Structure 1
Amino acid sequence: MKMQNFKFQSSGLGRFFGPLEAKIMEILWSTEQEMTIKDVHHRLDQEKALSFNTVMTVMNRLVEKGVLHKRSQIRSSVYRPVMTREAFMEAQSKELTLDLIEEFGSQAVVHMVDALDQVDPDLLDRLEQKIKELKKDR
């Protein structure tokens, strides 16, 4: 799933979602169960006054974007994330990396390698191991 509007100036979930979308996703990711719009609205309403219809509209847009699954129940619908937060961030970082390489080619890879001097040494070790695995599989 590729999010269409990546925001470079933001951070975290704000790179992929608007502020209310991000809050809704955090609420849904924080629970292990499906939630109704009413459940989510109640949790959001503790922070600031939002109309039920606003929450409903945003949640249905998240369904259209493919990040929420909607299932009808007797009198309402229940929603759950399509994937975990970790899986979502993994998928988005992979898509972003592929887009950068497609658009900028080897230059993007060179800049990523140059940035490695600013990261945790364990990450460098994992990268080295991944490169060895890729070379071995060829």
Structure 2
Amino acid sequence: MVRGLGELESAIMDRMWATNAPASVRDVLEHIRKDRPLAYTTVMTVMDNLHTKGLLKRKPVGRAYIYEAVSSKEAYTADVMRESLARSGNRAATLVHFLERLTPEEASALEAALQVCPPRGRSQ
């Protein structure tokens, strides 16, 4: 099950996705402290929780861990979208409502994506 992220979890994951490189708790803390004061242990606990949720992988380096995102932000977002659709009860109606709300730019992006990856069972 894909879980939504809290505010601090989102900030940490955004940082991990943006850098797309392994990072220590201290690396992430230094970046996030620019926006708000946080304790090292708070960031450490949240990154441990993100590891437990399967969003971060880690390896020990000395007495600490180095963390890395398991997947891209886009892959995570796709998982959240698929889970929301699965919980909707009426997938067709949910998709219709979703499509009705697309901006022209989003509709163009959807059309381009369908050219790259057509729905299963259908060919272009």
Name the TM-score class by shorter chain. 0.7 to 0.9
User: What TM-score comes out, normalization by structure 2 length?
Assistant: 0.79
Is 1:48 the counterpart of 2:48? The answer is: no
The count of aligned residue pairs is 117
User: RMSD value over aligned CA atoms?
Assistant: 2.4
Identity among equivalent pairs (%): 25
- Counterpart pick for 2:8 among 20, 25, 46: 20
Rg larger in structure: 1
Partner of 1:134: 121
Structure 2 unaligned runs (5+)?
none
Question: Structure 1 residues 71 and 112 mapped into 2: Cα distance closer, same or farther (>3 Å)?
Answer: same
Inter-partner Cα distance in structure 2 for 1:97 and 1:21: 23
Change (3 A) 1:97 1:42: same
Give 1:92's match in structure 2, choosing from 80, 84, 94.
80
Shift of the alpha carbon at 1:46? 1.1
2-structure distance, mates of 1:114, 1:61 = 34
Shift of 1:110: 2.7
Query: Following superposition, which runs of at least 4 residues in structure 1 exceed 3 angstroms of deviation?
Result: 120-127
Q: How do 1:49-128 residues align onto structure 2 when only pairs under 5 Å count?
A: 49-100=37-88, 104=89, 107-119=90-102, 120=104, 121-122=107-108, 123=110, 126=114
Higher helix share: 1
Deviations 1:67-108 (A, max 9, x none): 1111111232100111011111112212221222xxx2xx33
Structure 1 gaps, min length 5: 5-15
